Amino acid sequence: MNTIVPDYSRRDFLKKSSFAAAGTLSLVSIPLMGASCTPVQEELNVVGPKAGYSPQIGTLVSMMNWMRNVIEDQVRGLEQEQLDFLIDDKANTIGAMLLHLAATERFYQIHTLEGKNWGDWSREDRSRWSVASGLGDEARKKIKGNDLTYYLDALNEVRSHTLNELKNRDDDWLLKIDTNWAWGPTNAYCKWFHVVEHESNHNGQVKFIKARIPS
């Protein structure tokens, strides 16, 4: 089963581990913001509740939006040759990392919103996302020759589905604990914050690669 775990163990985990999704759930003891909390304004740099979402989900969404804007700013204007640039035969291209971010988010959709494990993925999802999810040699061979719009469209398609689905969830769902998660007891809030952290991690890699692309 594939999932997204911290970089120091991701490859071994993708190859070797499996676990049951959802598990026994219990509500964490975190004070909830009042349901009548007035949503903050929609400015990108204001983190907090957003119209159309429960208070804590809206706060999560504001963080997701902020980090995605950073990623998009980082790659704006890159040409195909730059997106395909490889520093060495162990590196990932910027294009592959962008598709990897979309694949990661799709995994967390399937896991948290659909309650499925990697083995339960549809043939279509596995065919579309497995290479980008795993990166490595296969991604270096297959993920290339695409313009920036291709990668941004994939990111936006997946994100649009996430946002629509999160509108149908509440803070109780976000805070429930999955006792069988690979890292130990973990709630959906942590899993989706990891999607944000994951983008931040690869943003640093994108900056590193951009600085080394021949002018």
Q: In what order do the strands lie in the sheet with 186-187?
A: 25-27, 176-178, 186-187
Specify if 141 maps to a domain.
yes
Specify if 28 maps to a domain.
no
Enclosing H/E stretch for 27:
strand 25-27
Between the alpha carbon of residue 75 and those of residues 33, 198, 205, 207, the distances in Å are 36, 16, 12, 9
Write the CB contacts of 14 (distance below 8 Å, at least 6 apart in sequence). Answer: 2, 3, 5, 133, 134
Report the CATH number that the domain containing residue 70 is assigned in CATH. 1.20.120.450
Q: Considering only 37-41, 84-88, 183-187, 207-211, which range has the smallest mean pLDDT?
A: 37-41
Tokens encoding 179: 């006792």
> Considering the chain, what is the average pLDDT of its residues?
84
Structural domain total, the chain: 1
pLDDT digits 0-9 by tens, 33-78: 333 445 555 789 899 999 999 999 999 999 999 999 999 999 999 9
Full-model pTM: 0.80
Specify if 73 maps to a domain.
yes
Specify if 41 maps to a domain.
no
- Domain with 105 in it: 53-210
pLDDT digits 0-9 by tens, 130-172: 999 999 999 999 999 999 999 999 999 999 999 999 999 999 9
Specify if 95 maps to a domain.
yes
